[in-house]
Copies of this chain bind each other. A is one copy, B any other.
């Protein structure tokens, strides 16, 4: 291939911002705003690990953007710019490259995010995509993991388990709505960024699994997080406890999980309702350590594996 031709033909058109300088100036310019703090995240997706080699490449491209957006929004930020590294396996065709770029570019455009630079290589591994994304936060900066306080309520912004269900469907070769979510997740709505920034005392996005990510907040805050499994908005009604725990530990949910102070909860609830934002209270924070789960007040032993390590 002539890599330069591919960059000019497929990447340059999806990088129209002035800061990208046509992707032909070796570097891109980062935006800067007085009165705000800028944050950055980076995620790598590899074929065979984070997506299936048979997944449609435009959806892989969209997923790459969304998993990064999910990180930014869940910390109270609004996504702005990206740099992109594409490591292509031998034999990757121009048409495949076009489809991949179409997915990345479409998702970036819909969300008003600008591609400003990156790198494209050929190598002997599977298709591997790395995206670095910047976001803009209020002056106080991103919400931390360690800010939860005893008495806080634990909130999730969408259904839990869709990624897990989708992976099961994908492995059988069937299709359906869960497969779509696995391939290209529904993530936390962008409107949540401002609400999280305003109200969340601790936050992250659920990528490893509900229980694993709740553990991360609990450990960072040095408190106990108690989750009522019957309050969790499952992607599909689990048939038994075993399935429920699978949904709670499968990961790839890309919904925000955060804590809100009990005395601000009413105000939070009103604002979320006014903006038409779905959320569910799934637990609470108290003195102690680690994650505890229960149903109707009865403690349930934690599964040995709380999540999926990517």
Residues in A lying within 8 Å of B, measured CB to CB: 2-4, 21, 24-30, 32, 34, 37-44, 46, 48-50, 71-72, 74-75, 77, 83-85, 87, 116-119, 121-126, 128, 130, 132, 134-135, 141-142, 144-146, 204-205, 220, 309-310
Contacts of A310 in B (CB 8 A): 121
The oligomer's copy count stands at 2
Q: What CA separation (Å) do A309 and B48 show in the bound complex? A: 27
Contacts of A29 in B (CB 8 A): 37-40, 141-142
A42 & B132 in contact (Cβ 8 Å cutoff): yes
Q: What CA separation (Å) do A122 and B45 show in the bound complex? A: 10
In the A-B complex, the 10 residue pairs with the smallest Cβ-Cβ separation, listed nearest first, are A125-B125, A46-B123, A132-B132, A30-B38, A27-B39, A130-B130, A42-B83, A44-B85, A85-B130, A49-B123
Known: A119-B42, A132-B132. A34 touches B34 (CB 8 A): yes
Contacts of A145 in B (CB 8 A): 24-26
Known: A38-B32, A132-B132. A87 touches B24 (CB 8 A): no
Specify the chain B residue showing the minimal Cβ separation from A4.
B309
Q: What CA separation (Å) do A310 and B2 show in the bound complex? A: 11
A77 & B27 in contact (Cβ 8 Å cutoff): yes
Q: What CA separation (Å) do A265 and B232 show in the bound complex? A: 70
B121 & A49 in contact (Cβ 8 Å cutoff): yes
Specify the chain B residue showing the minimal Cβ separation from A133.
B27
A75 & B42 in contact (Cβ 8 Å cutoff): no
A48 & B204 in contact (Cβ 8 Å cutoff): no
Known: A83-B132, A144-B21. A27 touches B41 (CB 8 A): yes
Q: What CA separation (Å) do A84 and B85 show in the bound complex? A: 12
A28 & B40 in contact (Cβ 8 Å cutoff): yes
Contacts of A132 in B (CB 8 A): 40, 42, 83, 132
Further 20 A-B residue pairs, CB within 8 A, beyond A27-B71, A49-B122: A3-B309, A21-B144, A26-B75, A27-B41, A27-B72, A28-B41, A29-B37, A29-B39, A32-B32, A40-B117, A41-B83, A42-B84, A43-B85, A46-B121, A46-B124, A46-B125, A50-B121, A85-B130, A123-B128, A125-B125
Q: What CA separation (Å) do A166 and B144 show in the bound complex? A: 46
Q: What CA separation (Å) do A122 and B118 show in the bound complex? A: 22
Q: Which of A2, A30, A72, A84 has the most CB of B within 10 A?
A: A30
A26 & B220 in contact (Cβ 8 Å cutoff): no
Specify the chain B residue showing the minimal Cβ separation from A50.
B121
A42 & B128 in contact (Cβ 8 Å cutoff): no
